[in-house]
Chain A
Amino acid sequence: MTEILNRLKRTDLFLSLALAIVAFLAYIAALTPSLSYQSPDGNELATIPYVLGLTHPPGYPLYTWLGKIFTWLPFGDVAYRMNLMSAICAACAVAGLYLIVCMLLQPHVASSALRRASAAFAALMLAFSPTFWSQAVIAEVYAANAAMIVISLLLLLRWETRHRDRDFFLFALVYGLSLGTHISNLGFAPAIALYVLLTDRSVVKRPSWWVAAVAGFSLGAAQYLWLPLRAAALSEQGLLRNAPLSLKGFYDYTLGAFPQLKFAFELSELPDRVVVYIYLLWNQFSFFGILLGVAGLFALLCRRTRHYYLLMGMYLVHTWFFIQYRAFDLEVFFIPAHILWAIFIAFGMVEVMRIIESWLRRLSAGQTAKAAGWTLAFVVAATGFYPLTKNFSSSDRSDDVNTNDFYANVWEYLPENSTLLSQGGVMGYDAFYWQLVYGTRPDVVLPALPTHTPSLADIQTGKLFSTTPLNGINRNRTPGALPKDALPADVWQTPVLVGNLGVTRTRNRLVLYQLGREAPYLVVDDAQPEIEIKAKFGNLTLLGADISGDPLESGACLHLILYWTIQRLEPVTLTTYLDQQPLETHELGFGNLPRYATEIGSVTDGVIVEDYWLVVPSTVRPGPHMLNIQIQGSEKSLEIDSVEVINEEETMERWLRIAN
């Protein structure tokens, strides 16, 4: 057999590097600048590597260690550096995919130009597919895992060419390590074993091969010793329950984690799940990509039978498992399957191009046919860039500043020695990040912080604030939670600072509430607003507003007081805008009006006062901007006042200054 590695000529290495650079530049342009709510675990995964802690199950040791290296970079904040790691890993996966396809496509199947074009086409299709791209611009494990899978495959193909035990050792080592970016990679083992047997059955009789395989894999998988070593860093009750300190705890934290999500569907529901997967595949590669992939599978079967068993086996186990997985961010779990599908696409594309090439040869001869072949190759490779233009705007997270803008203002707002109640577990790292990484405001107690166990004294010395509605935090089951009955049942939650948040799956709104037994300053007898408006929206009248904070640094917040009268109490939802950009949406009175009417007095006889600080995103350009309000159900948008936004401090500098 011809050595596959020899087919990887310098041109291929150069092209793979070029593809990686193109992908990396696109990822950098769309990179999330810091923390983000795009992934439920993203903020935890941006924080834990810095402190070399233990993430949620299954612990992701390799990701944690790689991340630690990236946190040493001298630019951006720590979260930015972790996002950058995803971009680099994703670009490596793209380059690796190109090399895998080049290694698999036999020279006699098509000309080198067509082979390279189809490999580049597949690599670009994957690089700029929506889900893959979404994970390349945030701190998450999926881009790193994609790189590990691709490197494992490259090493396995390298072993195939030489059958040397030391090559298999290297493959087994990297494969074992890949479990530290996603433990589901273990499911690829049967397909790999079958492929090894189909390639060289004699290896099972060779003790040296067994030593190489077992030693390599064990060495890679030994990273999971990190779990018991770092289990002491856990203090969140949900994780402590399955702390990896015993064999059972270790199993529950790794392979046994999330039992409620696995095989969660009945047989009758599986057809729907298959269609969900097809839908996700369609979203990545379009109907055209699905057709090419199916054609590619047949081509792979006939031309590369052993590799068909390897890749199809990996693909089937992976999709079979995750089709039955119940997660609200399901699409990201299929990224390894998308990588494999991209290889199938490359094989399908080569077949299509071969047909076209043979037509061109029949129509013309000599140099003309050769030129036509090159043109075809160029067109196919260039077509791979189509998803870049199509998906850029939806993948661009470079303006995702909401989390940092909100918390930067929260840290500035909180009085000395106050207590901030936040969510617990992985969802709480939007707040924990600041104190764990930068030691921000050490005087502020974060009871839900995994390393902190609050006492009543901790929270009774200062004012109480919360960034999450109380029904989610007043739990007595976690060491990091509040002591039982620490909060009075009749506590009022008064919004004092409101951040901006688009629609995300992990967070509904960004509001800092002040907690207290005193009823908020919500209804007054009369008011004299500085800006008189007197605009009527049916049952509701906006009398006027007071605005302070002009000029306003972008990313800072303006003080807004709105004065309303209402004839009868009914839910009203309003949205504030800066020009056309929505800032926040809330219910009139921030949900406190019904209780106020019941316990304090009428809200229809006086003037309702909404007094809060509103964050202006750091992405707002300097200059005058009009603050507007729109009532839900009314098409009318009401202009309040012009706000002058300035930008004297660079956004990252501001975040880092406030961080510490």
Chain B
Amino acid sequence: MVTNRKLIFAGGVVLILVLIIGAFSLGVYIGRYGVSAQGLHYQAAGDAPQIDRSRLTRPAGFPEGEADVVGLVRGGNRDGIQLATQQGPKWIEVDANTSVMEISGSELGLKDLRPRDLVAIFGEFSVDDGSTLLATYIVRLPQR
């Protein structure tokens, strides 16, 4: 019986903690967005940068045109990087043909990219919903 009481007490603590986390989260959410559905995104992009994409052109030596995606690096691995963009989160795939560089044209490695780096991607969308892009060029832009 004593063991059962201990278990009930411990379980009760867990349950109350869960309820507190839920209430705290609701409070934080309402503080951020008010009583609205504004923050209810399954793939929340986070604080995506406000970029005028039309002003971004490919570095010298590359074909003219706008970047396909511009966003903040959120993380990644050897297969690609996750970006927060104004159009929502994008997964940027890389392969052997992908070049990573500074806006000046100097070469970088994928490992040189850090979370919150601002990058422009030139490549091809590989999924019809526009969530995944195979990068030909990843250009790190000057930080704001």
Report the minimum CB–CB distance from A341 to chain B (whole Å). Answer: 12
- Segment among A70-78, A114-122, A275-283 that sits at the interface with chain B: A275-283
Report the minimum CB–CB distance from A332 to chain B (whole Å). Answer: 11
A312 on the B face (CB < 8 A) = yes
Report the minimum CB–CB distance from B68 to chain A (whole Å). Answer: 9
* A312 engages B11 (CB within 8 Å): yes
Partner of A260, one of B18, B44, B82: B82
* A276 engages B42 (CB within 8 Å): yes
| Size bracket, chain B contacts | 35 or more
- Segment among A44-52, A88-96, A301-309, A591-599 that sits at the interface with chain B: A301-309
Provide the residues of chain A in CB contact with B4, threshold 8 Å.
305
Give the distance in Å from the alpha carbon of A507 to the alpha carbon of B127 in the complex. 9
Partner of B129, one of A272, A275, A326, A505: A505
**Given that A269-B44, A326-B43, A475-B134 are known contacts, is A308 also in contact with B11, CB under 8 Å in the complex?**
yes
Provide the residues of chain B in CB contact with A477, threshold 8 Å.
95, 97, 134
Partner of B39, one of A238, A272, A469: A272
**Given that A260-B77, A468-B128, A477-B95 are known contacts, is A271 also in contact with B29, CB under 8 Å in the complex?**
yes
Give the distance in Å from the alpha carbon of A259 to the alpha carbon of B74 in the complex. 13
B102 on the A face (CB < 8 A) = no
A330 on the B face (CB < 8 A) = yes
Report the minimum CB–CB distance from A522 to chain B (whole Å). Answer: 24
* B42 engages A327 (CB within 8 Å): yes
Smallest CB gap from A241: residue in B: B79
Provide the residues of chain A in CB contact with B105, threshold 8 Å.
none
* A427 engages B128 (CB within 8 Å): yes
* B26 engages A301 (CB within 8 Å): no
Report the minimum CB–CB distance from B137 to chain A (whole Å). Answer: 15
Provide the residues of chain A in CB contact with B21, threshold 8 Å.
274
B71 on the A face (CB < 8 A) = no
Provide the residues of chain B in CB contact with A474, threshold 8 Å.
124
Report the minimum CB–CB distance from A619 to chain B (whole Å). Answer: 24
* A506 engages B128 (CB within 8 Å): yes
Give the distance in Å from the alpha carbon of A365 to the alpha carbon of B110 in the complex. 78
Provide the residues of chain A in CB contact with B108, threshold 8 Å.
none
Give the distance in Å from the alpha carbon of A564 to the alpha carbon of B8 in the complex. 75
A471 on the B face (CB < 8 A) = yes
* A264 engages B15 (CB within 8 Å): no
* B8 engages A272 (CB within 8 Å): no
Smallest CB gap from A505: residue in B: B129
B59 on the A face (CB < 8 A) = no
Report the minimum CB–CB distance from A593 to chain B (whole Å). Answer: 20
Provide the residues of chain B in CB contact with A329, threshold 8 Å.
42
* B89 engages A326 (CB within 8 Å): yes
Provide the residues of chain B in CB contact with A271, threshold 8 Å.
24-25, 28-29
B14 on the A face (CB < 8 A) = yes
A638 on the B face (CB < 8 A) = no
* B11 engages A472 (CB within 8 Å): no
* A328 engages B42 (CB within 8 Å): yes
* A198 engages B134 (CB within 8 Å): no
**Given that A264-B82, A305-B7, A423-B128 are known contacts, is A269 also in contact with B15, CB under 8 Å in the complex?**
no
Provide the residues of chain B in CB contact with A312, threshold 8 Å.
11, 14-15
A25 on the B face (CB < 8 A) = no
Provide the residues of chain A in CB contact with B57, threshold 8 Å.
none
Give the distance in Å from the alpha carbon of A427 to the alpha carbon of B126 in the complex. 10
Provide the residues of chain B in CB contact with A632, threshold 8 Å.
none
Interface centre among B40, B43, B82 (most CB of A within 10 A): B43
Give the distance in Å from the alpha carbon of A469 to the alpha carbon of B127 in the complex. 10
Provide the residues of chain A in CB contact with B7, threshold 8 Å.
198, 305-306, 309
Mask: chain B, 114-139; 1 = CB below 8 Å from A; 0 = not: 00000000001111110100100000
* A301 engages B44 (CB within 8 Å): no
Interface centre among B19, B21, B126 (most CB of A within 10 A): B126
Report the minimum CB–CB distance from B29 to chain A (whole Å). Answer: 4
Partner of A305, one of B11, B29, B126: B11
Partner of B25, one of A270, A316, A326, A472: A270
Give the distance in Å from the alpha carbon of A472 to the alpha carbon of B15 in the complex. 48
Give the distance in Å from the alpha carbon of A508 to the alpha carbon of B44 in the complex. 21
**Given that A264-B82, A308-B11, A312-B15 are known contacts, is A330 also in contact with B39, CB under 8 Å in the complex?**
no
* A275 engages B80 (CB within 8 Å): no
Report the minimum CB–CB distance from A457 to chain B (whole Å). Answer: 24
Report the minimum CB–CB distance from A172 to chain B (whole Å). Answer: 25
Report the minimum CB–CB distance from A251 to chain B (whole Å). Answer: 14
* B75 engages A260 (CB within 8 Å): yes
Give the distance in Å from the alpha carbon of A327 to the alpha carbon of B97 in the complex. 27
Provide the residues of chain B in CB contact with A471, threshold 8 Å.
124-125
A162 on the B face (CB < 8 A) = no
Provide the residues of chain B in CB contact with A330, threshold 8 Å.
42-43
Give the distance in Å from the alpha carbon of A380 to the alpha carbon of B28 in the complex. 36
**Given that A260-B82, A271-B24, A312-B14 are known contacts, is A301 also in contact with B40, CB under 8 Å in the complex?**
no
Which residues of chain A from 435 to 481 have a CB within 8 Å of any chain B CB?
A: 468-469, 471-472, 474-475, 477
Smallest CB gap from A313: residue in B: B14
Provide the residues of chain B in CB contact with A279, threshold 8 Å.
37, 40
B53 on the A face (CB < 8 A) = no
* B26 engages A275 (CB within 8 Å): yes
B76 on the A face (CB < 8 A) = yes
**Given that A271-B29, A275-B26 are known contacts, is A297 also in contact with B128, CB under 8 Å in the complex?**
no
* A297 engages B125 (CB within 8 Å): no
Which residues of chain A from 302 to 352 have a CB within 8 Å of any chain B CB?
A: 302, 305-306, 308-309, 312, 316, 326-331
Which residues of chain A from 243 to 297 have a CB within 8 Å of any chain B CB?
A: 259-260, 264-266, 269-276, 278-279, 294, 297
Report the minimum CB–CB distance from A26 to chain B (whole Å). Answer: 27
Question: 5 A-B pairs, CB-CB below 8 angstroms?
Answer: A260-B77, A265-B44, A316-B14, A475-B126, A475-B134
Interface residues of A (CB under 8 A from B): 198, 238, 241, 259-260, 264-266, 269-276, 278-279, 294, 297-298, 301-302, 305-306, 308-309, 312, 316, 326-331, 423-425, 427, 468-469, 471-472, 474-475, 477, 505-508
Nearest 5 CB-CB pairings of A with B:
A274-B25, A271-B28, A271-B25, A330-B42, A275-B29
Given contacts A260-B91, A472-B124, 5 further A-B contacts (CB under 8 A): A275-B29, A312-B14, A312-B15, A328-B43, A471-B125
